[in-house]
A and B are shown apart, each in its own frame.
Chain A
């Protein structure tokens, strides 16, 4: 059983999705989905532990040997990603029934859980697989279920946002498909490790350059890197709150994983950063993204929009770390990936609680909530402090690493820009704080969110603080993953 864990990680949620459909009753479907997600979490824990102890796990699907058959390959990076996805998925799911009651009509609840599990499957699959084409398939599973989940939003704009996302997402995925096709044309293999070995021989051909360009642009569309981010704010803002909480923490992270995997492992460090001037390009776009998105966030009236823009800005930090192309830079990116998942899921889940009590998340409706929903608002404040990067929160840890990585390379101006960027975070976070704590509430008073919200929210908030204080776990894994990526291993 233990040897089959890599595939079970993906197959269990995949199988569970149709079973959910059979279960029919929303309550049952929820419990089942929660159990499945919990199981996925347990598997990812075991996998991580195995990887940390005994190194890379390679699993041959159906017993077919690697370059021909599909290989599932779990190294430190994959294991970390699997853990992030399954943890957030499980925690977020706790609050689902209450939140859905207010946002989605009762007869669609079961479908929601089906789609949720499918999208979980897709994300886990993208990460677990070591086969380039498999990545595309899982990417589309995630995306298709994501389009449907977003379209479930209460407002009519949700459908429109979903449609826009569908168009952009499909273009992005097809770009990746083209890139994979071109790579296959040049090398005759789809296995990532095999690709990594064969690509250098043909790396000076135009076809490989084209393949690289298609893959990178496609992935960047998916990860909403500035300036390819336009689909994200509306998709996050109008999706059901639970969906936003889940996706904000996972879907762009998975795309970042792909970016790292393709540039570092498949195409190789020297090709990605020496032959192609990726560094300058990404550094510029990353910093621009931080500023443009943070400034846009300041001018939003809908809090979900506000934090969606903040997500784009945070992606900018990860891109900057990535573009340093050093072990410490990559460590910073991976740490921020982990940390940002914790911050944003906490914040968006708290916003789900606000939406549950208040009905919407317009900034104006937050008035007086500091007093009426103290625990929920406190969670948003702590999440916000973490976004700013205050010591003793996770945000500080990743910022520290990013700064050291930049200074190590002597890039002082970028370091200063990064710090200025986090001052913009102070502005948009404090905009929320001031309205919540300094304005008298205008409407009827609301009660604190129910425990089914508060427990998952505060689990995440405590994680935000805990991993900001005890950084051994996150730093160790991120460092190990970054080192293995630079060691040329896959």
Chain B
């Protein structure tokens, strides 16, 4: 049970730690790191899923009859590309946030936004 599903355990640990980082950390870079770990766990899930016991790399050869499934690998290549794009976009957003807010801490950004809203509300009440 424990060893037979070893790959799944790894995936779950990674997935949960990734999600935890996204939720618990206020630093935006750390959030993105968590997000990446989360995504990576899924990549590992797909890749390990494709492994067939005793199977060889899926390259056609005469003396091999059992192959690993190549399809999930191909799929996950796409997903990796998507993941990279997401990370890159996320990081560039962080840069712009730093430029305009002067911080990359979630709480600080929220505080500034709230302050601005309160200022707006006061103006309206006048």
Contacts and interface: CB of A to CB of B under 8 A. Distances in A.
A and B touch in the complex (CB under 8 A): yes
Interface of A: 133, 136-137, 140, 144, 147-148, 151, 156-157, 159-160, 162-163, 166-167, 170-171, 174, 177-178, 181, 184-185, 190, 301, 362, 364
A214 B100 CA distance: 36
A159 B97 contact: yes
B45 A170 contact: no
Contacts of B113: 157, 160
Most buried by A among B31, B93, B96, B97: B93
B66 interface: no
Contacts of B96: 151, 159
A257 B93 CA distance: 29
Q: Which DSSP category, helix, strand, loop or mixed, fits chain A's interface? A: helix
A77 B100 CA distance: 44
B121 interface: yes
A341 to B, nearest CB: 27
A163 B49 contact: no
B42 A163 contact: no
A137 B78 contact: yes
A144 B39 CA distance: 15
A63 B45 CA distance: 30
Contacts of B119: none
Contact of A171 (B19, B75, B100, B101): B19
Nearest to B19: A171
Q: Number of contact residues on B: which range applies?
A: 20 to 34
Interface of B: 19, 22, 28, 31, 35, 38-39, 42, 45-46, 49, 71-72, 75, 78-79, 82, 85-86, 89-90, 93-94, 96-97, 100-101, 109, 113, 120-121, 124
B70 to A, nearest CB: 12
Contact of B42 (A140, A156, A178, A362): A178
A148 B78 CA distance: 20
Contacts of B46: 181
A181 B100 contact: no
Contacts of B100: 156, 159
A167 B35 contact: yes
Given A159-B97, A163-B90, A163-B94, A170 B42 contact: no
B93 A144 contact: no
6 contacts: A140-B86, A159-B100, A160-B101, A170-B35, A178-B45, A364-B124
Contacts of A170: 35, 39, 86
Contact of A163 (B28, B79, B82, B120): B28
B124 A174 contact: no
